[in-house]
Amino acid sequence: MKIVLKFGGTSISTAKNIRKVSSYVHSLSKQNQVVVVCSAIDGVTDDLIQISKFIQRGNKEHANRLTAKIIARHRQLAKETITKSQNKKKLLDALNSDLTELEELLHGVILLGEVTARSLDYIISFGERLSIKIIAHALLDLGSKSIPLTGKEAGIVTDSNFGESRPLMDTTRLRILRNVDSLLSKKIIPVIGGFAGADQYGNITTFGRGGSDYSATIIASCIKADEIWLMTDVDGLMTADPKTVKNAKVLKEVSYAEAIEMALFGTIKKSSNEN
Ligand code: ASP
Ligand code: MG
Q: Report d(CA 235, CA 221) in Å as an integer.
A: 25
Instruction: In whole angstroms, give the CA distance from residue 7 to residue 14.
Output: 13
Return d(Cα 137, Cα 116) in angstroms, integer: 33
Ligand nearest the Cα of residue 125 is 1
Q: What is the mean pLDDT of the chain?
A: 94
- Whose Cα sits closest to atom 4 in ligand 1? 45
C-alpha span between 20 and 191 (Å, rounded): 15
148 phi, psi to nearest 5 deg? -80, 135
CA dihedral 117→126→94→62, nearest 10 degrees, is 100
Ligand 1 atom 6 nearest Cα = 210
**pLDDT, tens only, 19-63:** 999 999 999 999 999 999 999 999 999 999 999 999 999 999 999
Q: Domains for the chain: give ranges and CATH numbers.
A: 2-233 (3.40.1160.10), 236-275 (no CATH)
8 A C-beta contact, residue 128 and residue 136? no
- Binned at pLDDT 50, 70 and 90, residue 275 comes out as very low
**Contact by Cβ (8 Å): 193, 129:** yes
Task: For a ligand 1 pocket test, name from 121, 132, 212 the mutation site with the most ligand atoms within 8 angstroms of its C-beta.
Answer: 212
pLDDT in tens, 117-165: 999 999 999 999 999 999 999 999 999 999 999 999 999 999 999 999 9
Taking CB atoms and a 6 Å cutoff, what residues make up the pocket around ligand 1?
Answer: 8-9, 39-40, 45, 127, 194-195, 209-212
Q: Which ligand gives the minimal distance to the CA of 263?
A: 2
User: For residue 215, what pLDDT is reported?
Assistant: 98
The closest ligand to the CA of 46 turns out to be 1
Contact indicator for 16, 46 with CB cutoff of 8 Å: no
> Phi and psi at residue 143, in whole multiples of 5°?
100, 5
pLDDT beyond 70 at 173: yes
What is the best residue among 37, 165, 195, 205 to mutate for testing ligand 1's pocket, by most ligand atoms within 8 Å of CB?
Answer: 195
Closest CA to 244 of 266, 264, 263: 266
CA-to-CA distance for 63 and 206, rounded, in angstroms? Answer: 21
- Residue at 93: amino acid letter: D
Ligand nearest to the Cα of 121, by number: 1
Does residue 261 surpass a pLDDT of 50?
A: yes
For atom 5 of ligand 1, the residue with the nearest CA is 210
Other Cβ atoms less than 10 A from the Cβ of 62: the count is: 14
Residue type, 180: V
pTM: 0.91
CA of 213 to the centre of ligand 1 (A): 9
Confidence class for position 271, pLDDT limits 50, 70, 90: very low
Distance, CA 251 to ligand 1 centroid (Å)?
A: 25
Tens digits of per-residue pLDDT, 46-105? 999 999 999 999 999 999 999 999 999 999 999 999 999 999 999 999 999 999 999 999
Higher per-residue confidence, 264 vs 6: 6
The C-alpha atoms of residue 14 and residue 20 are separated, in whole angstroms, by 10
Say how many Å lie between the CA of residue 214 and the centre of ligand 2. 10
